[in-house]
Amino acid sequence: MFAYIVRRLAYGAVTVLGVLLLLFVLFFAIADPDDIARQAIGERASAEVYEQWKVNHGYDKPLVINAEHGVLEPGRYTDTLLFEHYRSMLTFDFGRSDADDVPIAERLRQGALPSLSLTLPLFALSLVVGVFFALLVAFFRDTYVDFAVLVMCMLAMSVASLIYIIAGQYLIGLTLKWFPISGFDADPALVIRFLALPIIIGVIASFGGDVRLYRTVFIEETNKDYVRTARAKGCGDARVMVRHVLRNALIPILTSVVLAIPFLFVGSLLFENFFGIPGLGAITVEAINGNDFSTLRTMVYISALLFIVAQILTDISYTLADPRVRLS
């Protein structure tokens, strides 16, 4: 078990290094520092202004090898953009925004809370609602209840998230006026009003797919031999579902769910943008629109990092939930 975790972490570390290399190629070799400077301050500045900007933002070094240093001096390799890229990303020293010189770490701190205040409740609520309905449907399988919910799920799945957002804003926000259409407030007491609509819409948007997936898992479990044993002991249907099937089904469900965490982060690009939530997703969109390469690089890096961490957590949670894996 311990050896497994160590090995898994080592794989993760190698993946992170690979991702950083890819980012370096994208952000420094393909879009070179001169392009970035031109994008940031415009076409018409003088050569000195460009140089000064590059010095200020740390783009003034050679890419991979610094010829100013001798072959045997470490500076030949460390005083370069490649080394600087790895150092800053691995130590989470993200530097400043190319667009407005604000420290990126500051931005992340400000954006994290609004993002999490949306994604976390959305994630938890979707999971609970999805599992609950799937359990119900699996309980009533091969009846009209099951059939009706399945048809509903199929319909729900075939509609894009964007439609839910627009329709939800129109119906709940504009027509019924239950909640504000968009906006955010730092005060936790007030922010709930703003978050209600995106959370409701988010749960509805993921409902169809979740229920269908979880239902399949539940029904597959229901056909297993241990379920028959439980019935033969005298367990009722509800008890069989909750005490026996749920625990086994939670293993595959957990796997799919933990993997979804980073996708929620990326997925909130859409939601934060439409609902005016100043979170990490909104910052990313802003960075793309404003040619803010250093911020964008950081955001892509963090997404990738979250994804890798999520995969490791999935594997570990899988082992914790399943004694067959846990103890071997």
Partner 1 sequence: MSRALVELQNLKVTFPTPQGRVAVVDDVSISLEEGKVLALVGESGCGKSMTALALMRLVPKPGRIEDGSGIRFNDIDVPTLSVPEMRALRGNEMSMIFQDSMTSLNPVVRVGDQVVEAIRLHERISYDAARKRVLELFERVGIPDPEQRFSTYPHLLSGGLKQRVMISMAVATRPRLLIADEPTTALDVTVQAQILELLRELKRELGTTILLITHDLAVVNELADHVVVMYAGKVVEQAERRTLLTSARHPYTEGLLGAIPQRGERGKGLNEIEGVVPPPDEWPAGCRFSSRCNQLFAPCRDNAPPEVSFGEGHVAWCHALDKGAGS
- Tokens 């504000």 belong to 180
Q: What is the DSSP string of 59-119?
A: --S-SS--TTS-TTSTHHHHSSHHHHHHHHHHTT---B-TTT--BHHHHHHHHHHHHHHHH
Q: Which is nearer to partner 1, 87 or 247 (CB)?
A: 247
Q: Is residue 308 helix, strand or coil?
A: helix
Compute the least distance from the CB of residue 318 to partner 1, in Å: 12
Compute the least distance from the CB of residue 298 to partner 1, in Å: 41
Q: Is 327 in the site for partner 1 (CB under 8 A)?
A: yes
| Residues 89-148 interacting with partner 1 (rule: CB under 8 A) | 142
Compute the least distance from the CB of residue 6 to partner 1, in Å: 24
Q: Which is nearer to partner 1, 203 or 251 (CB)?
A: 251
Compute the least distance from the CB of residue 146 to partner 1, in Å: 12
Per rule CB under 8 A, count of chain residues that contact partner 1: 23
Compute the least distance from the CB of residue 185 to partner 1, in Å: 44
In terms of Cβ atoms closer than 10 Å to its own Cβ (0-12, 13-18, 19+), residue 152 is middle
Q: Which helix (H) or strand (E) holds 6?
A: helix 2-24
Q: Is 88 in the site for partner 1 (CB under 8 A)?
A: no
Which of 226, 238, 256, 320 is in the footprint of partner 1 by CB under 8 A? 226
Q: Which is nearer to partner 1, 40 or 253 (CB)?
A: 253
Compute the least distance from the CB of residue 246 to partner 1, in Å: 10
Question: What tokens were used for 187?
Answer: 């005060």
Site string for partner 1, 229-258 (x = CB under 8 A): xxxxxxxx------xx--xx--x-------
In terms of Cβ atoms closer than 10 Å to its own Cβ (0-12, 13-18, 19+), residue 277 is buried
Which of 56, 109, 228, 320 is in the footprint of partner 1 by CB under 8 A? 228
Q: Is 72 in the site for partner 1 (CB under 8 A)?
A: no
Give CA–CA dist 108/125, Å, rounded: 25
- Longest CA–CA separation in the chain, Å: 85
Residues near 235 by Cβ (< 8 Å), separated by ≥ 6?
243, 244
Residues of the shown chain interacting with partner 1 in the complex, contacts defined by CB under 8 A: 142, 224-226, 228-236, 243-244, 247-248, 251, 321-324, 327
